[in-house]
Amino acid sequence: MTNEADVIVLGLGPGGEQAAADCLAGGLSVIGIEAELVGGECPYWGCIPSKMAIRAATVLEESRRVGALAGSSTTTPDWGIVASRIRNEATDDWNDQVAVDRFTGNGGTFVRGYGKIIGPRVVEVDGVRYTATKALVIAAGTKAAIPPIPGLDTVPFWTNREALKSREVPESLVVLGGGAIGCELAQVFNRFGSKVTIIEAAPRLIALEEPEAGEILAQSLTDDGISVIVGVGAKSVAKDAATGDVSVTLADGSVVSGAVLLVATGRTSDLKSISAEVLGVDPKTHRALPTNNFLEVVDDSDSIVSGVYAIGDVAGKGAFTHVAVTQGRMVADQILGKPTAPWDTRQVGHVTFTDPEVGAVGLTEDAARNAGITVATASYPMESTTRGWIHGAGNKGTFKLVVDADKGVIVGGTIVGPHAGEILAGLTVAVVGKVPVQQLIETVWAYPTYHRGFDAVLAELPDNLKSGR
């Protein structure tokens, strides 16, 4: 095996795989380095297994809505079916041989192990040095962020990985963190019979989204029987010697206990482990590798580190699979000498797959105002649309648009409700394409669809933005 190639890809998650595949297709030699599983977090612990579990939990909840819509039904949850699908259909029992064979079959050289950067375009794995003559692509991903709560290091707990590898549903579950991952998994385990409490230190759930989204989701989770605590952080954690439960003492002195503690307080890059300081980036002062608009790594003196790129979670520009894959393509194009648009001009949609779903793209209202935009907003309840009314049970949600009133274009928006992630496609096109609001107002939306909600929410805009109506 040669220790030199045109390109080294450090981390073969979705973005790294894409960059490597495109470089190989372009005729370059590639060394791919991965310590865990080729494919990364998404197919083995993240988006694919979690959505299998969410799909199963949603089916359970829909069966419980039969009484309000269609008659009567009785269901018996069986987590074993979910656990089996995750193992056998999604992850091959957490075996990545198929992915490794796909990479090597395309001509790549695969190295299993933890890579440490020891020089520009030079990576060491288990004492062996590998050199890239053209480019080093860093796609090292992130890991679960574990907060420094006293006692947490002394008790057993789950992250999303342990949750989705579990063969059983705990009798009770305390979820530390009310972001997307925490809310999704809380709802799943609740619907399979676990008594669930969510603890979120921020004033609301999914705090990075519009406040309306967090409020609707909190109410939906509460209606499901989940105890939702917001605005109070965890002070300490301990294990009850008598019961074996994990107890979380909150800042207000109250105590929440459960058979299992799930820590879902975000994700973090481990820049120290890859020796980012070799690139002139201080791991102590950066949560992600700093890059320019073309994803070239920039050191602490604001100089480009020649031939070194960062993509995916480690680049800190959106911790989503679709971001990583797109960035992988973008960087591969640059290495191959193809023209590419800068990253920071792109708008990225994302979805929280709770029930109701939460889809968003572009700027929130607060972010738009902070950017100096003259903002106009409009909202419309999902349940008041014709399709929402037809849907009945489980129809709560909202359409919210954030408009640049001076330019007459949508700069952001949020959709909460059934199939929000699919409805988001139209909103994404409008934001990315800077479609004039007037053109959207004149659009004929199919009836009775969820996406016809755009017609209703556009009608709520100020009169000066809908002159043609």
Q: Are residues 258 and 274 in the same domain?
A: no
Q: What angle do CA 103, 338, 10 make, to 5 degrees?
A: 35
Cα separations (Å) of 44 from 39, 48, 49, 50, 51?
8, 7, 7, 9, 11
Confidence band for 469, pLDDT divided at 50, 70 and 90 = very low
pLDDT tens digits for range 299-322: 999 999 999 999 999 999 988 999
Q: Which residue has the tokens 């619907």?
A: 191
Q: Could you count the other beta carbons within 10 Å of the beta carbon of residue 392?
A: 12
Q: How many domains does the chain have?
A: 3
Q: Does residue 314 form part of some domain? A: yes
Residue 423: which CATH number? 3.30.390.30
Average confidence (pLDDT) over 410-431: 97
9 and 138 share one domain: yes
Could you say which of 226, 246, 265 is where a domain stops?
Answer: 265
Assess whether 131 and 273 both reside in one domain.
yes
| 22 shares its domain with 109 | yes
Looking at residue 467, its pLDDT comes to 63
Asked whether residue 103 falls in the same domain as residue 196, the answer is: no
- Domain final residue, candidates 284, 318, 345: 345
Q: Which two tokens stand for residue 327?
A: 């960035």
Among residues 265, 288, 316, the one where a domain terminates is 265
- What confidence tens digit (pLDDT) does each residue in 354-384 have? 999 999 999 999 999 999 999 999 999 999 9
Q: Do 8 and 138 sit in the same domain of this protein?
A: yes
Q: What distance in Å separates the CA atoms of residue 152 and residue 131, rounded to the nearest whole number? A: 40
288: which residues sit within 8 A by CB, 6+ positions away?
A: 269, 271, 310, 313, 314, 315, 316, 317
Question: Does residue 54 form part of some domain?
Answer: no
Domain containing residue 173: 152-265
Question: What pLDDT digit, counting tens, does each position of 10-58 carry?
Answer: 999 999 999 999 999 999 999 999 999 999 999 999 999 999 999 999 9
| 249 and 159 housed in the same domain | yes
Asked if residue 222 and residue 193 are part of one domain, the reply reads yes
% pLDDT > 70, the chain: 99
Of 265, 230, 246, the C-alpha closest to 173 is 246
Q: Tell me if the pTM is above 0.85.
A: yes
The model's confidence at residue 120, banded by pLDDT at 50, 70 and 90, is: confident
Q: Are residues 180 and 232 in the same domain?
A: yes
Whether residue 205 is contained in a domain is answered as yes
Average pLDDT, the chain: 95
